[in-house]
């Protein structure tokens, strides 16, 4: 018989003691140890105690690393979906902190001392910012889209039966078709596909046009008694060039009005500023621009170009917003007080024309200022076995927004005398405050546009530890 077959399963207590302080709460460690030992029991042979411990330490390390914590974003991608999209500024955090740590008038009318409406001030602010009759907000833009689709698409059974001319019962067709251009059946991020969202909301897809061309006539021909709405989806994360045509929104809007069909646009990023005034950026349609074109409802994310908390803003016709808000499903998607206060503070910043949207401050940071920071960081790295230099970078908006736009940026480039760039990058990721950069032509590059100036000292400390 082999040694391994003779070994006994170690006792839970013995393993716990040997693991020592793992930095992970004891109940989690205990559960994991029990589970891994149970797995061992199923096997024919038991590995050596040290191997068992090592495997448990690996599992704990993986688990620990998945705990949410701040990191330094040196990728140059401003709205990084993997990194929590838009970071929030001090005023917004201040609002969340004071509302979160106190009771508030969330649903209380201070004037009359009675139950009050939720988010009335915020909804008014968003309507003003979008130049819309009304606005409301749900958990994210995907939720906004689902709410709109579910509300306007009625299954056949929900429509009351009407009597036909000959007296027989006749069920009218279900009003559940959503007309959408084949050029807009897009996938946003991991697992977010417009056709899937449509179907899961009970809508029937009615594709019109072709991938590259959809005309007004295509929309006109598709409208029938089963049409629930016309949906336009902003191609936010890719672009089409060449032999391309899409019907102008103004014309679709006119057609929709004539046929009494709601016209909805999923805008995606919700830019409130004229992006084309920023060097390197193209024009990104703003919600007010879309409303002006005659769209009945527009929806967009709170944490993309708006630069606020994760939320889904819906703006447009007062009657339609009111109808959405009275849909029972709205209750399942509504935001909590922290998000509402954060969005309220974000909207305030825009209306007062103040600073305080970090994503916009990063976009606007002058290149000379970035270069100066780069030089300062570089000179603070003296004495390390590395070659550090200040290079040129290309920052991007990210978050599925403005994919063609590139913002000139500055990178800190690190080449270690003996250790490969990939290994340095891995060590930076594994640092107490993780630093994420990218590797290009043998050096680790850290884009300074997405690193807050207040993080420079932390960055220097991380590089010092990793590159010793
Ligand atoms: C990002 C995006 C969404 C999804 O928004 P979330 O806020 O992430 O739910 C939907 N549609 C478009 C066009 C987008 O760009």
pLDDT of residue 161: 46
Q: Token digits for 149?
A: 């689709």
Q: Is the CB of 137 under 6 A from ligand 1?
A: no
Q: Which two tokens stand for residue 444?
A: 């680790």
d(CA 387, CA 415): 5
How far, in Å, is the centroid of ligand 1 from the Cα of 57?
38
Compute the distance from residue 186 Cα to the ligand 1 centre, in Å: 11
Please tell me if the CB atom of residue 396 comes closer than 6 angstroms to any atom of ligand 1. Answer: no
Q: What is the pLDDT of residue 279?
A: 86
CA distance 448 to 450: 5
Residue 204 has a CB neighbour count (10 Å cut-off) of 16
pLDDT digits (tens, 9 = 90+) for 135-188: 999 999 999 999 999 999 986 444 444 444 555 566 777 899 999 999 999 888
Give pLDDT, residue 187: 87
Residue nearest to atom 11 of ligand 1 (CA): 268
User: What atom of ligand 1 comes closest to residue 310's alpha carbon?
Assistant: 7
Half-sphere exposure of 76 (CA within 13 A, CB side): 22
Give me the pLDDT at residue 154, please: 80
Whether residue 400 has its Cβ less than 6 Å from ligand 1: yes
What digits encode the pLDDT tens for the residues 214-253?
A: 999 999 999 999 999 999 999 877 788 888 889 999 999 9
pTM: 0.93
Residues of the chain falling short of pLDDT 70: 1-6, 155-170
> CA-CA distance, 5 to 42, in Å (whole number)?
12
Whose C-alpha lies nearest to ligand 1, atom 5? 141
pLDDT, residue 165, reads 55
Q: How far is the CA of 352 from the centre of ligand 1 (A)?
A: 27
Q: Is the CB of 287 under 6 A from ligand 1?
A: no
């Amino acid at each position: 018989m082999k040694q391994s077959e003779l070994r006994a399963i170690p006792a839970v207590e013995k393993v716990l003691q040997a693991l020592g302080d793992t930095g992970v709460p004891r109940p989690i460690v205990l559960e994991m140890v029990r589970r891994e030992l149970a797995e061992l029991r199923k096997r024919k042979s038991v590995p050596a105690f040290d191997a068992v411990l090592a495997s448990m330490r690996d599992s704990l390390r993986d688990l620990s690393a998945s705990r949410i914590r701040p990191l330094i974003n040196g990728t140059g991608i401003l709205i990084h979906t993997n990194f929590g999209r838009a970071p929030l500024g001090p005023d917004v955090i201040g609002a969340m902190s004071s509302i979160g740590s106190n009771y508030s008038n969330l649903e209380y009318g201070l004037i009359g001392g009675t139950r009050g409406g939720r988010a009335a001030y915020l909804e008014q602010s968003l309507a003003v910012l979008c130049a819309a009759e009304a606005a409301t907000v749900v958990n994210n833009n995907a939720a906004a889209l689902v709410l709109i689709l579910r509300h306007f698409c009625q299954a056949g059974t929900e429509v009351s039966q009407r009597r036909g001319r000959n007296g027989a019962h006749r069920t009218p067709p279900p009003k559940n078709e959503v007309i959408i251009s084949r050029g807009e059946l897009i996938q946003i991020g991991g697992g977010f596909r417009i056709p899937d969202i449509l179907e899961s909301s009970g809508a029937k897809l009615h594709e019109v046009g072709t991938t590259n061309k959809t005309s007004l006539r295509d929309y006109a021909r598709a409208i029938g008694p089963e049409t629930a709405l016309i949906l336009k989806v902003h191609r936010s994360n890719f672009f089409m060039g060449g032999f391309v045509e899409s019907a102008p929104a103004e014309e679709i809007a006119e057609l929709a009005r004539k046929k009494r069909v709601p016209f909805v646009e999923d805008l995606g990023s919700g830019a409130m500023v004229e992006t084309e005034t920023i060097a390197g950026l193209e024009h990104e349609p703003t919600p007010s621009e879309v409303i002006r074109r005659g769209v009945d409802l527009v929806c967009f994310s709170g944490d993309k170009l708006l630069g606020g908390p994760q939320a889904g803003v819906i703006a447009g016709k007062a009657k339609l917003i009111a109808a959405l808000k009275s849909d029972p499903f709205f209750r399942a998607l509504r935001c909590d007080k922290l998000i509402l206060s954060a969005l309220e503070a974000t909207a305030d910043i825009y209306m007062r024309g103040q600073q305080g949207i970090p994503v916009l401050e990063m976009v606007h940071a002058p290149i000379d200022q970035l270069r100066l920071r780069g030089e300062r960081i570089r000179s603070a790295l003296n004495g390390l076995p590395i070659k550090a230099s200040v290079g040129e970078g290309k920052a991007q908006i990210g978050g599925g927004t403005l994919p063609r736009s590139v913002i000139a940026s500055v990178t800190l480039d690190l080449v270690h005398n003996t250790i490969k760039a990939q290994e340095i990058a891995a060590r930076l990721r594994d640092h107490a405050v993780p630093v994420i950069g990218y590797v290009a032509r043998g050096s680790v590059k850290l884009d300074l546009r997405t690193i807050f100036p207040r993080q420079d000292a932390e960055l220097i400390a991380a590089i010092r530890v990793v590159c010793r």
